[in-house]
Amino acid sequence: MVFEWIASFAVNGLGLTGRLADAAHFWIYDTLKIVFILFTVILGIGYLRTYIKPERIRDYLKGKHSIFGYLGAAALGIVSPFCSCSTIPIFIGFVGAGIPFGMIITFLFVSPMVNEAASVVLLGTLGWKITLAYIAGGVLIGVSGGFILKKLGFEKYIKEFDMASKKHIDEEISKRQRLKLATTEARDIVKQILPYVIVGVGIGAAVHGYLPEELITNYLTGPLAVPVAVLVGVPIYTNIMGVIPVVESLIGKGLPIGTSIAFMMSVAALSLPQFVMLKKVMEKKLIAAYAAIISIGILSLGLLFNLVL
Amino acid sequence: MKIEVFGSENCKKCSSLKQRIDKVINESTKEAEVNKVTDIERMAKLGIMSTPTVAVDGEVKSTGEMLDEKGIKELID
């Protein structure tokens, strides 16, 4: 591939050898690959998203009570935009439209945990097995979490809003305009995420070139490693794109897949800024239950995947 | 003219769109007050579900789109 060639050319050109050459090759190659995949995927999804507006999904989910409603909410959570800041307006829109509470919560669970571009980057770096585990695991936690909180009667902890719920009318825009919107979005998002990718791949490269394998196989392969991974992951607030290359290197050094996925998900799914945002739309008890279900869910997934994968 | 850009506090896209609108206004002959609005209750009242959303004189003109300079010009003309 052309990125492989560029990375080798740069490493040879700089006259690097040994571990440093290995690390530098990893850094250049992975940064180029991830940025390329990101741009392509965001462009594609951004284009499709001009057809699937949240208002339209809201109209679709209204009155749905079946498992399809839950899966639909989870699917929307996956394709919802990168910035967690857009989750809250969608959430309020759903509440105002009278969409069943369990589905709204499912959306809120899946949205930060599973990300469509991250899925494609995972597919390109770590293969289909891990990608599938990541998506299915996130959807499973989301759907069951939504269902559990509904059964436990947590609906009363959502704050009330005076919400305008207009039926969505699609504006007629041309394919060319849609492509233009998607290109602007892809360019802006990639620009925003780039620093995270560069730093993340840098850390990944250091792990790849210098971290002794024995350190992982001796200390991070037992069942206790999963809770430790979640505990370390939760306070870290960064973009998931910065975490994937680190996880890629750690798996290469022998870190079990379940532990890796648990770490990756906990970094993305729970964060202080997110709680501050949620505080505006729900009471503390619901936030605590939400955080507890995500943590326990990720922990169980990690342990399960370590057993079966 | 009053232009409002709706979005949460940590929505970087919304802040960059506001800056872009400021730039277009400064380079044009139009007079406008541009504000970023983070009030969730107001967003709810206007039925805003996608950010950034731009409203001109209280009327929602664009939702969930990162407008470029040309798009902004069309919006304020």
User: Which chain A residues are closer than 8 Å to B67 by Cβ?
Assistant: 184
On whether the CB atoms of residues B1 and B36 are closer than 8 A, the answer is no
Q: Which residue of B has its CA nearest to A274?
A: B10
The answer on pLDDT for A234 being more than 80 is yes
Beta carbons of B40 and A90 less than 8 Å apart:
no
Q: Which of A201, A242, A255, A296 is nearest to A82 (CA)?
A: A242
Q: Which residues of A touch B47 (CB under 8 A)?
A: 93, 96, 163-166
pLDDT at site A105: 93
Q: Which of B8, B63, B66 sits opposite A277 (nearest CB)?
A: B8
pLDDT 10s digits, B27-68: 988 889 999 998 888 888 888 888 889 999 988 888 888 888
Instruction: Report the distance separating Cα A232 and Cα A52, nearest Å.
Output: 36
**Contact state of B47 with A181 under an 8 Å Cβ cutoff:** no
Mean pLDDT of chain A: 86
What is the pLDDT at residue A18? 84
pLDDT value of residue A219: 79
Q: Could B8 and A93 be called an inter-chain contact, meaning their C-beta atoms sit closer than 8 Å? A: no
Interface list for chain A against chain B, based on CB atoms closer than 8 Å: 53-55, 58, 81, 83-86, 88-90, 92-93, 96, 161-166, 180-181, 184-185, 188-189, 192, 273, 277, 280-281
Contact B11 A58 (CB under 8 A): no
Q: Are A163 and B13 in contact (CB < 8 Å)?
A: no
Output the six-digit token pair for A112. 């930060």
Q: Which residue has the higher pLDDT, A20 or A274?
A: A20
Q: Do B47 and A161 touch (CB under 8 A)?
A: no
Looking at the predicted structure, is the pLDDT value of residue A169 above 70? no
User: In 3-state terms, what secondary structure has residue B68?
Assistant: coil
Would you call B45 and A162 a contact, using CB atoms and an 8 Å cutoff?
yes
A53:B65 CB<8 A: no
Q: Which of A103-117, A140-154, A160-174, A186-200 has the lowest mean pLDDT?
A: A160-174
Search chain A and give the residue with CA nearest B43: A89
Percent of chain A surpassing pLDDT 90: 37
Query: pTM to 2 decimals?
Result: 0.80
- In tens, the pLDDT along A180-197 reads 888 887 888 888 889 999
B-chain residues near A92 (CB < 8 A)? 40, 43-44, 49
Cβ contact, residue pair B68, A184, below 8 Å: yes
Scanning every residue of chain A, which has its alpha carbon at the shortest distance from the alpha carbon of B11?
A: A85
Q: Using the beta-carbon criterion (under 8 Å), do A188 and B7 form an inter-chain contact? A: no
> pLDDT class for A56, splitting at 50, 70, 90?
confident
Q: Which of A99, A163, A192, A276 would you mutate first to test chain B, the one with the most B CBs within 10 A?
A: A163
Confidence band of A268 (pLDDT split at 50, 70, 90) = confident
Which of B8, B11, B47 is opposite residue A164, by nearest beta carbon? B47
